[in-house]
Amino acid sequence: VPMGVLSCMKYLMFIFNVLVFAGGTCLAAMGVWVVVDPAGFQDIVAARAVLSAGAWLLLAVGIALSLLGFLGCCGALRRSRPLLLL
């Protein structure tokens, strides 16, 4: 495989993982907002227990995606196969 193709794949994987990290951070921020905000979503969330659990689930998924995106970025830059497989 030519070296240029490997370099291109490295940067494409890095960009994809940055997007996953950004999306996870946004999900986590929305989860925190829904859980903490006393005026906005709290009235809707307090009415149904399922929505409250959904807010915590949104927060957990956001944190997990942020962690995976960060590890993927590190793996792409270092060309670490275990980090990319994680």
**For 8-25, how does the pLDDT look when each residue is reduced to its tens digit (9 = 90+)?**
988 898 999 999 999 999
The tens digit of pLDDT for each residue in 39-86 reads: 676 666 666 667 778 888 999 999 999 999 999 898 888 888 887 777
Predicted TM-score (pTM) of the model is 0.80
Instruction: Report the chain's C-alpha Rg in angstroms.
Output: 17
The residues, ordered by sequence, that sit 6+ positions from 21 with a Cβ below 8 Å of its Cβ are: 65, 66, 69, 70, 72, 73
Phi, psi values for residue 80, rounded to 5°: -95, 110
